[in-house]
Structure 1
Amino acid sequence: MDSFSNRISDIASTYGTDTIFILGKGPSADEVPSEVYAGSLVIGINDAERIYPADISIFYADWVKEALAKEGPRSRLYITSTDFKPTSGEVLHAPHASLTQESSDLMIQRLLSDEVVIEDVLFLTALQVARKVARQRGRRQTVYMVGFDFRAEAGNAQAIGRHYETDSADQRRLRIEMQENFLLNALYMLKDTEVDVVHVGQRPFSRLDSAELATEFLPDQHSDGRDWSVAVIAELTTNHFGDRGRLERMVRAAKAAGANFVKVQKRDVESFYTAEQLAAPYKSPFGTTFRDYRHQLELDRDDFAFLDTLCKQMGIKWFASALDEASYRFLLEAGSDAIKLPSTISEHTHYLETVAKTCDRPIVLSTGMTDKAFENWVLETFANSPELNLLQCNSAYPTPAEDCNVGVVRHYARLAKENPRIVPGYSSHDHGWFGSALAVAAGARMVEKHVKLGNTEWAHFDAVALDLTKSDFKDYVQKIREAEIIVGEEEKSVRPSEHHKYRR
């Protein structure tokens, strides 16, 4: 496999689904919830990545360079014929084949070849890339084309914001309207191939409209309006790898799965680790030392501002683990909805006392590697905290079944009856959903589960994290909600489903 195919394969392997989205800029793209894309490979045309962060963007026009330079790159890989040098993401170069009357047939022929050429009709190049992915995966892929309306007068999606195109209105109309015929030809040519191409829109050949696409990918599991009492935390840790586009996809996927919060981490790398630890060799894509690795994983001030804005837009809350005092102070300013104190710093009592005295928001505290004496100390030290979420936790990854001790959650629930500031919970380091569902039955009102975006060799807690590119975390949330329903209420009453078989 050549380097071109290798790089596409590396990106595609992040996802476990057999779906690919090709994203255009037509106004119908505004009608598709962005969560739809969260678990699938996304290929963007021109600067469509401004609608949703694409995995791969394809362009040849110089105006796209200007748009990406001013708006900031949001793709992992750019396929272009230009000299574009993004501040983030990689570049693969391919030749641009201009469309002429004589070359139109050749353009359709190239669609079925192994050669990747940047066509004037860019979605044809995107379909070439999709075919490569299908061959690499060894199975047929469903390719959804979103935002290709073929109506110049409709303009662009509002989500795109400022326009950078340099075409005149007439040029744009001719360019867009002639592309519909090329798509019809492509649909015919790609029948019974390794890709099943689904146009999303309102054209006669569209197989889905935007609403139907959303229903297919985001069936509403909570349409009964139930007020769920258990908060589900998608624990991202540092599995965003310091990549803002990856972070955004994880947040959107967690929200789509039904999470109430996403959680990240913050630490001061240079002071948290020893000089020897930081200088130690470490294999990762980010350098050769542990220092290189840890610095790459940290979100900076702008990243946290981005996270805060994104979560407000999405209607999901966020908070972070503060592993040292500098990070704690930073997170208070950054707007973290709560402060997490993880098991790893349970012996840092001076720092924990500082948080207890100064924190004005909920505390989430995991109790791995601690005992009854630590619990007593926590209850006394955090006596004035507005809310104290006590999460039963075992620090082993994965936690053996016999060490989960979900019964401790029942103990925390009893403490909560005596002191309403206490919220019982469970931080799951065990496999799957069963332990968390039992924790809900024991009284947990917060459950936390590690998540990741695909499989990598360096992901944090990879052995127990649920993959957001699959349905794993969505299934986990659903099991938690089923457990809530089954647990019901503590007060005994006659339920509507009951009736007496024998009456006097």
Structure 2
Amino acid sequence: MEFHEDKVKLIAEIGGNHEGDFSYAKELLNLAAEANVDVIKFQIYSGATLVNKDVDFERKRHFDKFTFTNEQYIELADRCRSLGIDFNASIWNKEQIDFFDDYLSFYKIGSGDLTAFPIIEHLAIKGKPIILSTGLSNEYEIKESIEFICNTNPIYKKENMLCIMQCTSSYPTPDDELNLNVIRRFKEIYNYQVGFSNHSTNPYALDYSISLGARVLEFHFTDSRDNKEFRDHKVSLTKKDVLSLQERIPFIMDSLGSKTKEATESEIQSDHIVSFRRGTFPKREIKKGDIVNINDFVFLRPAKGISAKDGIYLEGKVAKRDLSPLEILSPEDFHD
């Protein structure tokens, strides 16, 4: 996985949308592959390695319902490989990180683990590109985590080794808490690539994130949002949604264009710089030796001869020759 400013990467997060049904997980994988995403992503964990059962047994039991065996995850990974699609997973314990490492081209650190330095250290030592989600956090915590990653392994000082994801960990995220402007802020303060992890029910949040600078888009993926109880389905894209997004991305990227404000090639070739702008033309007959003022001129298209910008400075100058109404002027027609 490489991060590029001129390419938008799409990560379809199946996550827990399979709800523990392995056959359903395979169906979702195939649908995501048909949507031509770059990465199909799952979440690999066990309740016992994620939640303290003595503190929150129900939460542990919830996560246990969504787990597969290592062999089943390998089957999913092999299926992705056979389809030419990158397999990935957020993995929330060291043992399974090591077990699946050969299947991962990059590591995804979820928002909940942004402060889990023992897990982050284990990943950073391995030196693969990292995508870091920033839900729940503030700017100081993000800076602290990035510094810890770079101190653990200086390879992450390279700008193509880390991607910082704007994310709000609410399902669904209220519109006024998407905070897409954070994407611009990240681009101001970091040299790393920036992305967006979407939990909005509005799929166009992804379009807007691209226009603000996101180049890695992560979104939950499902077959349908209808008649689903598990919360993640409600913030998920379908195959149709993803294909529609992909149709829009080329226009978004092309329309962003250059940061340099200058006349474009089409504006120059069309001669609109002349035809749309105004020139300075005599309003009346002006005799040689007349001292002119601004009221002696009219400012009309096209910008032939003396432009309207320069015409305003003819005030008080002397005509060097007779001038006819509306004729094209030259600076050589006047002197001080």
Regarding TM over 0.5, the answer is yes
AA in 1 matched with 2:40 = V
User: Could you tell me which residue of structure 2 aligns to residue 306 of structure 1?
Assistant: 75
AA in 2 matched with 1:298 = T
What is the aligned-residue RMSD (CA, Å)? 2.6
User: Could you tell me which residue of structure 2 aligns to residue 403 of structure 1?
Assistant: 177
How far did residue 276 of structure 1 move? 4.5
AA in 2 matched with 1:396 = S
Q: Is the 8 A contact 1:228 1:481 kept in 2?
A: no
User: Could you tell me which residue of structure 1 aligns to residue 210 of structure 2?
Assistant: 440
How far did residue 321 of structure 1 move? 0.8
How far did residue 312 of structure 1 move? 2.0
Query: Of residues 202, 217, 220 in structure 2, which corresponds to 1:450?
Result: 220
Deviations 1:452-479 (A, max 9, x none): 22345443512211234xx233223333
Between the aligned partners of 1:295 and 1:437, the Cα distance in structure 2 is: 35
- Unmatched 5+ stretches in structure 1: 1-226, 283-289
Other structure's SS at 2:230 match = coil
How far did residue 316 of structure 1 move? 1.5
After TM superposition, the structure 1 stretch with the greater mean CA deviation from structure 2, 396-405 or 478-487, is: 478-487
AA in 2 matched with 1:444 = A
TM (norm. structure 2) is 0.69
Other structure's SS at 1:311 match = helix
Between the aligned partners of 1:497 and 1:258, the Cα distance in structure 2 is: 33
Q: Is the 8 A contact 1:428 1:436 kept in 2?
A: yes
Q: Does 1:252 align with 2:34?
A: no
Q: Does 1:461 align with 2:232?
A: yes
Q: Does 1:378 align with 2:149?
A: no
Query: Of residues 188, 191, 195 in structure 2, which corresponds to 1:414?
Result: 188
Between the aligned partners of 2:30 and 2:246, the Cα distance in structure 1 is: 15
AA in 1 matched with 2:114 = S
AA in 2 matched with 1:234 = A
Q: Is the 8 A contact 1:413 1:443 kept in 2?
A: yes
Cα 1:496–1:431 change in 2 (3 A) is farther
Query: Of residues 242, 245, 258 in structure 2, which corresponds to 1:473?
Result: 242
How far did residue 315 of structure 1 move? 2.0
AA in 2 matched with 1:433 = P
Query: Of residues 423, 429, 438 in structure 1, which corresponds to 2:199?
Result: 429
- Unmatched 5+ stretches in structure 2: 276-303, 305-336
The aligned runs of 1:52-67 (5 Å cut-off) are none
Between the aligned partners of 1:258 and 1:492, the Cα distance in structure 2 is: 35
How far did residue 320 of structure 1 move? 1.0
The aligned runs of 1:16-27 (5 Å cut-off) are none
How far did residue 264 of structure 1 move? 0.8
User: Could you tell me which residue of structure 2 aligns to residue 134 of structure 1?
Assistant: none
Q: Does 1:362 align with 2:145?
A: no
Between the aligned partners of 1:277 and 1:337, the Cα distance in structure 2 is: 35
Q: Is the 8 A contact 1:239 1:453 kept in 2?
A: no
Query: Of residues 4, 14, 19 in structure 2, which corresponds to 1:241?
Result: 19
Aligned length: 261
Other structure's SS at 2:235 match = coil
Cα 1:488–1:366 change in 2 (3 A) is same
Cα 1:477–1:434 change in 2 (3 A) is same
Query: Of residues 375, 382, 392 in structure 1, which corresponds to 2:166?
Result: 392
Q: Is the 8 A contact 1:261 1:317 kept in 2?
A: yes
Q: Is the 8 A contact 2:49 2:92 kept in 1?
A: no
Between the aligned partners of 1:252 and 1:488, the Cα distance in structure 2 is: 35
TM (norm. structure 1) is 0.48
How far did residue 405 of structure 1 move? 1.4
Q: Is the 8 A contact 1:337 1:362 kept in 2?
A: yes
Cα 1:493–1:303 change in 2 (3 A) is farther
The aligned runs of 1:252-401 (5 Å cut-off) are 252-276=30-54, 279-280=57-58, 291=61, 293-333=62-102, 335-356=103-124, 358-383=125-150, 384=154, 385=156, 387-401=161-175
Cα 1:397–1:301 change in 2 (3 A) is same
Other structure's SS at 1:462 match = helix
Deviations 1:392-443 (A, max 9, x none): 1111111112211111111222345xx3xx2101111112233222211111
Between the aligned partners of 2:15 and 2:266, the Cα distance in structure 1 is: 43
Between the aligned partners of 1:261 and 1:489, the Cα distance in structure 2 is: 28
AA in 2 matched with 1:465 = S
Between the aligned partners of 1:275 and 1:457, the Cα distance in structure 2 is: 27
Between the aligned partners of 2:210 and 2:64, the Cα distance in structure 1 is: 37
Cα 1:279–1:368 change in 2 (3 A) is closer
Q: Based on CA coordinates, which of the two structures has the bigger radius of gyration?
A: 2
How far did residue 492 of structure 1 move? 4.7
Q: Is the 8 A contact 2:46 2:64 kept in 1?
A: no
Between the aligned partners of 2:199 and 2:228, the Cα distance in structure 1 is: 19
Cα 1:490–1:254 change in 2 (3 A) is farther
Between the aligned partners of 1:437 and 1:451, the Cα distance in structure 2 is: 16
Q: Is the 8 A contact 2:92 2:119 kept in 1?
A: no
How far did residue 277 of structure 1 move? 6.6
Other structure's SS at 1:319 match = strand
Between the aligned partners of 2:38 and 2:68, the Cα distance in structure 1 is: 21
Q: Is the 8 A contact 1:320 1:338 kept in 2?
A: no
Q: Is the 8 A contact 2:43 2:89 kept in 1?
A: yes
